[in-house]
Structure 1
Amino acid sequence: MCGIFGITGRDGDTIQILLKGLTKVEYRGYDSSGICISTPTGLSLKRKEGMLDNLKQNLSGLQEGRSGIAHTRWATHGPPTEMNAHPHCDPQNRVAVVHNGIIENEVQLRQILIESGPEVCFSSDTDSELVAHVLAEELDAECGNEVPTDEQLLAAWRRTLDRLDGSFSLGALVNGRDDVILFARVFSPLILALNEAGYLASDISCLAGMVDKISYIEDGDWGLLHPGRIELYDKDGEAQIREMKKLPWAEEDSELGGWSTFMLKEINEQPAVIRACLHGRLSRDAVRGVKISFKPDLVRIIACGTAFHAGMMARHYIEELSGIPCIVDHAHEFRYGTPSGPKALVLGISQSGETADTLAGLIAAQERGYPTLSIVNVETSTIARQSDAILGIRAGPEIGVASTKAFTGQVLGGLLVALRLGRLANKVHTEDLSNLNNAARRLPNAMERLLASNQLEQGLKRARRLFKGKEHAFYLGRNSSYPIALEGALKLKEISYIHAEGYAGGELKHGPLALIEEGTPVVVVSSDGIIQQKLFGNAREVAARGARVIMIAIEGDQEAAAHADVVIYVPKTHKLLQPLMHNVVCQLLSYHVARDRDCNVDRPRNLAKSVTVE
C-alpha cells in the first residue's frame, strides 16, 4: 500500500532522486508524503499532508546529504495528517523510519515504552512511530550516545526486529551514519538495488531508469544497505547473498507518454496486452506455457478486487472447456475455510504479485498439500516466487489505481489455464483451438477499431449524461457477462464515487429491484441467444420502474435498441472473447463519468495500488 524509497551514496542530488522515485510510487498511497535526509549535522525532515505535489512545493529548509529515505502514505493507523506522515523519528531525532505494513503488537509496545521512562512521548497516532522509539532504545543500550559501528547497528537492529510482530517492510536512518540505510522485510515486499549507490524500494517502478538489476529480498531478510554493497542476513541471522535480476520494465513504460491520464493510456494499451499475453502460447493446435501436468478434480481460484472478477471469468472458462468443477474464493476468506479434496489445484490471481491476502491464501494452500499456480503481472514478485508455477500476463506496469489492462491479461490467463485443463480432460480439440486462435489473432485489431470509433465516442457521450446528478447505479449481466457487470460497477464506484452494484440479472427480483427509482442508471451487459432474451426482460423490468437503461450490445443486434435508452455496440468476436469487448466500454464509461465529476481517475480517494496489508 504505502510507497517506500531510499538511497545511500549520492552527492548533491539525493532530494531530487528521492522525489523522482516517490513520483513513480505515489499510486501506492497519497494521503501524505515525506523525506528524511541524513546530513553531516543531523537528520533533516520534511513531511506534508495530501498528495506529493504538496511536499514538492514545501521543501524549504530540507538539507542535502548522502543518504535519504522517503515515503508516500496510505493511512491505516491514524488519520491522513502531517503529524502521521512518514518518516517518523524518535524524540531525540537519532533515528528516522519509513514503514509499509502493520505492527500488530502496537498496544503492548506502546505500553512498554511508556513504562520505560517519563521522557517518552509520542508525536503521532501511528504504529510506525513505535519502530523509531524501539530502535533508538536499542541503540542507547548498544552504544550509548556514541555513533554506532556497523556491528552495533546490526545488533540493535536485530533486537528491534525481534520485538516487532506483524507484516512490514522498513527502512531506517541513524544520525551520524550517512553511509548506510537499515532495512528489513517481513511479509511486506521490499526491493534492493545497487550501482555506485544503494537503493531500497517497495516497487520496481521507481527503480526503472536508475538501475539495471534488482534483488527481491526474501521474507525475514534484514541488514544494512551501503553505497554499492548489501550486508544481508536471513531470519535466523545467517549471512546471505540474494540473486540480482534484470529489471523487467523500462522507465518509459511507467510514464504518461502524451496521454492525459494513466487510466486512459492503459485502457488503450489493451490490444497490445492481448498480443503479448497470447504470443507463443496459443496456436491452431496447442496451448503452451501453462505448467499444469495433471487433471485436478477441483480448481480453487483465490483473488481480490478486479482479480476476483477475472477469477469468475476463469471459472466460467474452466467449467465450460474442461468440465472440472471450479470455486472462486475471496483470498481473505479462503485461508480460513475448509480444505478441498485431495486433487485440487489452487489458482491465485494478482496484478502486483504482492497482494497480501492472496499470498497468505497460497501459503495456506501449500501447507494443506495443494499445488499452486498463479497468474501475475510481475513475474519476479513474492507470489510468483512462492507459487509452484506461474503464468505471466505480460501487461507491463499498470500505474492507474483502478485496474484496466491487467484485468484483460488476467482473463486471458484464465482462458489459457482452462484450455490446458480442457486438453488434459480431452474436451478441447484441435478444431476448437484453431477457431479460437483465429479469433484471438483478430481481437486486438477489432478492439483498436472500437477504441478509435466515432460511434463509441457518441454512445459514451449519450450514456454519461444519464449519470449526471446521480449517486446510485446498477449493472446487470448473466453467464459470462455477469463478471463484467461486477467489474463495471467496481470501476464506476472506484473512480467516480457513485455507489454502483453489479448483479446477475436473475437476482433482480430478489431485492435489488426495490432500489430502482425514476432516473436510476442501469447498465445491461448483453450476451446472445437465450441469455440475451432474459437480459432484455431485465431491461424491461427496470425501465418499467423509471430506470434509464444503457445497453452494451453486439453489432448486428437489432432488437437491443427497443429495450434501452442508449445502446453502445461492440464488434462481434468468439463467444469466449466477447466479454473483453464489453469490458472496454464499461471502463471508458466509468472513466468519462468520473471526469465529468472532476474526480482524479488515477488516484481515487481512500484507495491505493497493490494491497500489501491484510
Structure 2
Amino acid sequence: MCGIVGYIGNKQAYPILIKGLQRLEYRGYDSAGIALIHGDKLSVYKAKGKVSDLVQFAEQKDIEGTIGIAHTRWATHGEPNQVNAHPHYSQSEELALIHNGIIENYAVLKEGLTKHGYTFSSQTDTEVLVQLIEYIKKSNEVNLTTAVQLALNQVVGAYAIAVIEKGHPDVIVAARKGSPLVVGIGDDEFFLASDATPIVEFTDQVVYVGDEEVVTLQRGKQLKIKTIGNVEKTPEIKKLEMTLSQLEKGGYPHFMIKEIFEQPKTLADSMRGRVNVDENNITLAGFIDNKEKFLNAKRIIITACGTSWHSALIGKYAIEEFARIPVEVEYSSEFRYRKPVIHEDDIVIAISQSGETADTLAAVELAKSKGAFIFGICNVVGSSIPRNTHSGCYTHAGPEIGVASTKAFTAQVTVLTMLAMMIGKEKGTLSQEDYLKIVYELARIPEKIGVILKQDSTIAEFAKTFTYAQNFIYLGRGYNFPVALEGALKLKEISYIHAEGYPAAEMKHGPIALISQEMPVVVIATSAGMYEKVVSNIQEIKARKGRIISIVTDGDEVVSNLSDHIISIPDTEECLVPLLAAIPLQLLAYHIAVVKGCDVDQPRNLAKSVTVE
C-alpha cells in the first residue's frame, strides 16, 4: 500500500523522485522520505504528512545526486511520524531501505539482531529488514545483491524493497514478493516504482518484477534479475500502455470527479472490440478460450474485497439469471481462512482493480491449490492477479488515482455482465431475444451516463443540505441492492459519515428503528425491478418523517411526489440499471465530502492498493 520510487542515471534524482512520489501518493500519504547518494555521502530526509511536507523539509538540504530511492507511506507497523517514516538507515548508516508490505516474523528477527548488538530507533518491521541485510552483508563479506538474497530467504511475509549503499553510487538493489514492483528502462538510466505511473513520463519500456526476484540496477550495465535462490532470470521487457494525460487532473478540482466524468469513455473502452451492435454480438477472448470450463462448471465462486465485492454481487445476479449456474460471492479475507470447499470443476473469479490486493491474491493461490480454474478481472495490466490466474479479462478503465473507486466499479460490472451474457447465450439459458435487447442497451450505456452527468450541479446544490447528517441509510432491491452497498461505502470513505446499505425489504426488520427527521435515506427506486415493493418501503419511511433522496427512472411521478429530492436516470434493462444508478450516488458522496472540506482523493486512513493483510 506504500509507494516506492527509485532512480539511477545521468539526471538529478531528486526532482524525478519527488514527482514520482506525488504520482504514487494515492498508495499512502501519512509520511514520506527520500534517500540520495552524492559523492561519498548517503543522506536520508523524512517528514510526517504528505509529499508536500517532505518537499518543504528538504528545501535547505543537500539534494544533489543521480541515484536515490523515495517512499510515501501507509502505516502498518508504528504510528505515522518522522521516525517511523521510510527510508530507514541501517545501524552504521551505510545502507538505506524502503519497503512496501509486512515482515511477519520481524519480532523473531529483531530478537536475534539485538543479541548481535543491533539497536532500533523505530517501531517498524522495515528497520529490522535493513539491519538484517547489513548484518548478513558484513558477517558473510558479500555484496549488496547477495546480502539481500540471503536476508530475504529468512523473511516471512510480503515485500517490495529497494536498497542503496553508501560508497556505491552506481547500484540500486530491489526485490519483491506479494507487493508490486516495476522497472523502467530508459537511455542509460533505470526507474523503479510500485506501479508505472511515475515511469510513463520517461519511458514506455518496463519490466514487471516477479515474486521472489531480486533486481540489480547498475549504472552502465544491463538489468540483472536473480531469484532469492540465486537462479538467474532473463528480463522480459514490455511496452507500457499508458499516457501521461491519464495521470493529470485535466482541469478538474479532484481526480475523483474527473474519474466520475470519465465513465462514458471508460465503459466504451471496456466494451471496445467486445460489444458489436451491428453483429448483435459480444466477444470476450478469455471466455472463448475457456468456453468448455464455463459451460461445464457446477459452481462459480467470486472472490473480492471492498468495491470489487459489490461488483461481484451484481455479477452473481447476472450469472445466475442468464447462465443458471449457482454463484457464491466471498470476501477474499474470509475465503482464504475459512477452509472453503473447492472442487476441480469450480470456477473462481478473482476481482481486483489493482491486481495486487493481498487477500484476493491469497484466495487465488488457495483455489489454484485445490485444482479450480481461476479467472481474473483486473484493471492494471501486468499486475500480480493476471499473472497468477489461468485466464481473465482486463477492464480497461485506465489509471484510477482517486482512492475511492468509481470508474473501476462500473467497468467491473460491465465485464461481469458481458461474461454472464456469453455464458448464458452458449448454454441456451438466455433467450436470443433477451440477449439482443441487452446487447443493444449495453452499447447505449455510455451515452446514458453522459445524460446523468448533466445533473451534477443540481446534485451539488442539494448535497449541501446533508452535510449535517451523522448517518445515512441506502436502500435497493434486486440488482440495486449491491448498488446501495456501494453508495454507502462511497459516502463513508470520503465524507466520514456513517452509512449502511440494506435490501429495501429488510428495513422493517430492524433498521426502521433509526428513521427520523435527522436520518437521510437514499432509495434506488427505478421502474425496472420491484418498483411497487420499493414504493411501499418509501411510504413507510415517509410515515416516520425520514428525509428521502430517490434515484428514479425518467418520467417517474409516484416516487418523485414522495421524495424530498430526486435524481432521474434513463430507462434501461434491469440488469444494466446498476451502471446508471451508481453515477448519482458517486456524485452525491463527492459533493457532500467537498462541502465538508474533506480530502476526497486521499481520505484519511485509506490507500488505493491494499497489498497487506
TM-score, normalised by the number of residues in structure 1: 0.95
1:398 pairs with 390, 397, 400, which one?
A: 400
Indicate the SS of the match to 2:311: helix
| Distance in 2 of aligned mates of 1:458 and 1:527 | 19
Q: Please name the residue that 1:225 is paired with.
A: 217
1:541 match = 540
Letter paired with 1:17: I
The one-letter code of the counterpart of 1:508 is M
- Tell me the equivalent position of 2:42: 43
Point out the more displaced range, 490-499 or 512-521. Answer: 512-521
Equivalent residue letter for 2:69: I
Q: CA deviation at 1:40?
A: 1.2
Q: What residue is the counterpart of 1:203 in the other structure?
A: 195
Mapped to 1, the partners of 2:150 and 2:234 lie a distance apart of 22
Structure 1 residue 459: Cα displacement: 4.5
Q: Contact conserved, 1:45 with 1:62, CA < 8 A, in 2?
A: no
Match of 2:184 in 1: 193
1:53-202 equivalent positions in 2, closer than 5 A: 53-59=52-58, 60-117=60-117, 120-143=118-141, 152-195=143-186, 196-202=188-194
- Per-residue Cα deviation, 1:449-470 (whole angstroms, up to 9, x for no partner): 22124xx5324422x1442311
The letter for the 2-side match of 1:371 is F
**Higher deviation after alignment, 337-346 or 500-509:** 337-346
For residue 148 of structure 1, what is the aligned residue in structure 2? none
Report the secondary structure of 1:557's partner residue: coil
SS in 2 for 1:523: strand
Determine the structure 2 residue equivalent to 1:324: 325
CA distance in 2, matches of 1:293, 1:264: 38
How big is each residue's C-alpha offset from its partner over 1:272-326, in whole Å with a ceiling of 9 and x where there is no partner? Answer: 0111111121234432124231211111000000000000110011011111111
| Corresponding letter in the other structure for 1:140 | K
Q: Which moved more, 1:220-229 or 1:131-140?
A: 220-229
> Contact conserved, 2:425 with 2:435, CA < 8 A, in 1?
no
Give the letter for the 1:567 counterpart. I
8 Å contact kept, 1:285–1:430: no
1:443 match? 445
Q: Deviations over 1:554-605 (max 9, x none)?
A: 1111111232111111111222222211110000000000001000110000
- In 2, the alpha carbon distance for the partners of 1:140 and 1:485 equals 58
1:35-60 CA-to-partner distances (Å, cap 9, x unmatched) read 00012132111111011111111212
How far off is 1:499 after superposition? 0.5
Q: What's the CA shift for 1:530? A: 6.3
Tell me which moved more, 282-291 or 500-509: 282-291
Take 1:112 and 1:543, find their aligned partners in 2: how far apart are those partners? Answer: 65
| 1:313 to 2:314 alignment | yes
CA–CA distance in 2 between the matches of 1:460 and 1:434?
37
Match of 1:595 in 2: 594
Identify the range of structure 1 (169-178 vs 204-213) with the bigger mean alpha-carbon deviation. 204-213
Local SS of the residue matching 1:181? strand
The CA RMSD measured in Å over matched residues stands at 1.5
Is the counterpart of residue 354 in structure 1 residue 360 in structure 2? no
Residue 415, structure 1, aligned to residue 407, structure 2? no
Deviation by residue 1:55-89 (Cα, 9 ceiling, x = unmatched): 11121213311210000000011111111100000
* Residue 23 (str. 1) matches residue 18 (str. 2): no
Query: What's 1:10 paired with?
Result: 10
Q: CA deviation at 1:188?
A: 1.2
Amino acid at match of 1:304: C
Matched residue, 1:234: 227
Paired with 1:185 and 1:459, the residues of 2 have a C-alpha distance of 44
Q: Distance in 1 between matches of 2:2 and 2:448?
A: 38
Match of 1:428 in 2: 430
* Correspondence for 1:518: 517
CA distance in 2, matches of 1:554, 1:388: 40
Aligned partners of 1:33 and 1:335: how far apart in 2? 32
Instruction: Tell me if structure 1 keeps the 8 A contact 2:494–2:593.
Output: yes
Please identify, of 334-343 and 38-47, the stretch whose mean Cα deviation from structure 2 is larger.
334-343
Partner of 2:476: 477
Return the TM-score normalized by structure 2: 0.95
Q: Cα distance 1:341–1:528, how it changes in 2: closer, same or farther (>3 A)?
A: farther
Distance 2:504 2:555 in 1: 22
Match of 2:457 in 1: 457
Q: Counterparts of 1:263-342 in structure 2 under 5 Å?
A: 263-283=256-276, 284-289=279-284, 290-291=286-287, 292-294=290-292, 295=295, 296-336=297-337, 337-342=339-344
The AA in structure 2 aligned to 1:187 is G
Matched, 1:34 2:27: no
Please tell me the residue identity of whatever aligns with 1:271. Answer: P
Structure 2 Cα separation of the partners of residues 574 and 423 of structure 1: 17
For the residues of structure 1 that align with 2:38 and 2:67, how far apart are their CA atoms? 8
Select which of 200, 208, 215 maps to 1:216: 208
Matched, 1:253 2:241: no
SS in 1 for 2:488: helix
- C-alpha distance 459-193 of structure 1, shift in aligned 2 (>3 A): closer
Q: Is the 8 A contact 1:71 1:86 kept in 2?
A: yes
Distance 1:236 1:286 in 2: 49
Q: Tell me, in whole angstroms, the C-alpha distance in 2 between the residues paired with 1:155 and 1:374.
A: 35
Give a deviation string over 1:2-43, Cα, whole Å, max 9, x none: 0000011234x2100101111110100000000000121321
For 1:538 and 1:309, the matched residues in 2 are separated by 23
**TM-superposition CA deviations, 1:457-494 (whole Å, max 9, x none):** 324422x1442311111100110110110000000000
Write the distance in 2 (CA, Å) between the matches of 1:133 and 1:458: 57
- Determine the structure 2 residue equivalent to 1:389: 391
Kept after mapping to 1: 8 A contact 2:478/2:529 = no
Percent identical pairs in the alignment equals 39
CA distance in 2, matches of 1:286, 1:340: 33
Q: Corresponding residue for 1:146?
A: none
- State whether residues 9 and 226 of structure 1, in contact with CA within 8 Å, keep that contact through their aligned partners in structure 2: no
Distance in 2 of aligned mates of 1:10 and 1:27 = 28
- Structure 2 CA distance for aligned equivalents of residues 68 and 61 of structure 1: 15
Read off the aligned partner of 1:331 and give its amino acid letter.
S
**What is the deviation of 1:342?**
4.0
In the aligned structure 2, how far is the partner of 1:598 from the partner of 1:364?
43
Which of 367, 370, 385 is matched with 1:368 structurally? 370
Paired residue secondary structure (2:581): helix
- Residue 498 of structure 1 corresponds to 497
Q: 1:340 to 1:165 in 2, by over 3 A?
A: closer
- Does the Cα contact within 8 Å between 1:10 and 1:197 map onto a contact in 2? yes
> 1:147: which partner in 2?
none
Q: Deviation at 1:138?
A: 1.7
d(CA) in 2 for partners of 1:441 and 1:416?
11
3-state DSSP of counterpart to 1:65? coil
Structure 1, gaps ≥5 residues long: 144-150
User: Partner letter of residue 147 of structure 2?
Assistant: A
Q: Tell me the SS of whatever aligns to 2:15.
A: helix
Runs of 4+ in 1 over 3 A off after TM superposition: none
